[in-house]
Amino acid sequence: MFSTIEEALSELKAGKPVIVVDSEDRENEGDLVAVTEFAEPAVLNLMITEARGLVCAPLSRELAERFELTPMTAHNNDPHGTAFTVSIDHVSSTTGISVQERFDTVRALLGEDDRCFNSPGHVFPLVARDGGVLERQGHTEACVDLAGLCGARKTGIICEIINPDGTMARRDDLVTFKDKHQLKMITIEALVHYRKQQEALIKREAVVEMPTDFGHFTVYGYSEIYSDREHVVYMKPYTGVPDIRLHSECLTGDVFHSRRCDCGTQLENGLRHINEHGGLLIYLRQEGRGIGLINKLKAYEKIEEGLDTVEANEALGFDADLRDYAVAASILRDLGIQSVNLITNNPRKIEGLRDYGIDVRIRIPHQFSSNPDNSRYLATKKEKLGHLLEENLI
């Protein structure tokens, strides 16, 4: 059903549009997307006559500022935060609505003349977030990201695909549309994954020496480029393939020694292992398997009502585990590490690193005896999350 991002880029460079589909729990729609630099008027005509939605021109914030395209409204309360600017026509337009005149308008966004538009008009520019789909998973950002990945100026053309009866085209309808017009189709989710594989997601901010109760470490501080999250690495000199531990932040366990989980014990013994054998511990800001501190406490409320840790997350509307290991892989690449021995009981961490290009050579078990307050939690991790735990220690 879906093509690869590489296949989509090849089509876009050849001047063809592709279908881009967002999440079923977002707008749940497919847009025809083209890169302006490579497109011809026939692509715009296809959008108008066959896709039938609103023709828009996504562009980077830099281009919007260059052309002095101000927001359409001072108070944007769109549920998805779509950043419409004032509508525009090229100054050469007569009615502005024909395929050729709308095409002339979007093509002018490739130029340098910031006085070439009249407003209002018949083309609707949309301003993408600076981080693209890594910041907002919308069609606007997908279009601008695809243009950038094609090596083109960051502007394109998009149009929602509407069925002949006026309803929005959903997955099955989009497949029919794709086959009819011999188009490639991709998901925004796949584009997010592609960018995470290809790009640095973090910036190294500081390197300091850190004496601790567990030994002396070199600490690396990282900030994420597309969010305000910060992470640290505790490193000890090593030879060959390093032992590494990915530890997700747990304030209640790591700092306040909660007995509900085994996080504090895992953190302390992880540092002891790294101090003895060399390697590194990456401390990731992924509180509560990615749902955050307050939501984790709300999940504890559900657990006190009788749910297990997975059921509690789901009762709050979250997946059982929201964590992603792209940032961890990006940190490892920054440190020049491509192969690791992973200290973990969680096979998802192994799969997560491998998915982003890190070679996991061996798994080093990391299990410790349970207590009466966390035995059910550990049993649930084994039974429902697939953690590799020995029964006699639960």
For CATH 3.40.50.10990, the residue range(s) in the chain are 200-286+323-393
User: What does the pLDDT profile of the chain (394 residues) look like in tens digits?
Assistant: 899 999 999 999 999 999 999 987 666 799 999 999 999 999 999 999 999 999 999 999 999 999 999 999 888 888 888 999 999 999 999 999 999 999 999 999 998 887 899 999 999 999 999 999 999 999 999 999 999 999 999 999 999 999 999 999 999 999 999 999 999 999 999 999 999 999 999 999 999 999 999 999 999 999 999 999 999 999 999 999 999 999 999 999 999 999 999 999 999 999 999 999 999 999 999 999 999 999 999 999 999 999 999 999 999 999 999 999 999 999 999 999 999 999 999 999 999 999 999 999 999 999 999 999 999 999 999 999 999 998 877 7
Q: What is the CATH number of domain 5-196?
A: 3.90.870.10
Helix (H) / strand (E) containing 284: strand 279-284
* 116 marked as binding residue: no
Q: Are 218 and 335 in contact (CB under 8 A)?
A: no
pTM: 0.88
For CATH 3.90.870.10, the residue range(s) in the chain are 5-196
Closest by CA to 23, choosing from 220, 188, 215, is: 188
> Can you give the pLDDT at residue 151?
97
Helix (H) / strand (E) containing 294: helix 293-304
* 4 marked as binding residue: no
Task: For residue 104, indicate whether it is catalytic.
Answer: no
Residue in 104, 145, 254, 321 annotated catalytic: 321
Q: Which amino acid is at 338?
A: Q
> Can you give the pLDDT at residue 323?
96
The answer as to CATH 3.40.50.10990 being correct for domain 200-286+323-393 is: yes
Q: Cα(323)–Cα(162) distance, rounded to whole angstroms?
A: 35
Task: For residue 323, indicate whether it is catalytic.
Answer: yes
Residue in 165, 323, 348, 376 annotated catalytic: 323
Q: Cα(1)–Cα(173) distance, rounded to whole angstroms?
A: 12
Closest by CA to 274, choosing from 330, 231, 212, is: 212
> Can you give the pLDDT at residue 240?
97
Q: Are 177 and 167 in contact (CB under 8 A)?
A: no
Tokens, residue 275: 């101090």
* 258 marked as binding residue: no
* 160 marked as binding residue: yes
> Can you give the pLDDT at residue 168?
95
* 249 marked as binding residue: yes
> Can you give the pLDDT at residue 293?
98
